[in-house]
């Protein structure tokens, strides 16, 4: 099973926000952004911060892809 954060990147484009702005506004680290970019798992607290910042639900920023 692979985690896809493609929805997050599309949402950032729609909101005209870059990754650095997301990092600062959501209060997450560069390491979390790197893990997201590599499709690696991140902790639920980080996902919550991102959702709160973007005013969305977790299903709006990620999904599981069955291999």
The radius of gyration computed from the CA coordinates of the chain, to the nearest angstrom, equals: 11
How much is the pLDDT for 35? 97
Distance between start and end Cα atoms, the chain: 6
Angle at 37 between CA 34 and CA 41, to 5 degrees: 80
How much is the pLDDT for 16? 97
Q: How confident is the model at residue 67 (pLDDT cuts 50, 70, 90)?
A: confident
How much is the pLDDT for 40? 95
Token pair 């991102």 is found at 50
How much is the pLDDT for 7? 98
Question: In this predicted model, what pLDDT tens digit does every residue of 16-61 receive, in sequence order?
Answer: 999 999 999 999 999 999 999 999 999 999 999 999 999 999 999 9
CB contact at 8 A, 7 and 60: yes
CB contact at 8 A, 36 and 9: no
């Amino acid at each position: 099973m692979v985690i896809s954060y493609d929805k997050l990147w599309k949402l950032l484009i729609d909101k005209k926000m870059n990754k650095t702005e997301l990092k600062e506004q959501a209060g997450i680290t560069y390491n979390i952004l790197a893990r997201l970019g590599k499709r690696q798992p991140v902790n639920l607290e980080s996902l919550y911060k991102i959702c709160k910042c973007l005013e969305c639900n977790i299903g709006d920023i990620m999904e599981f892809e069955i291999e």
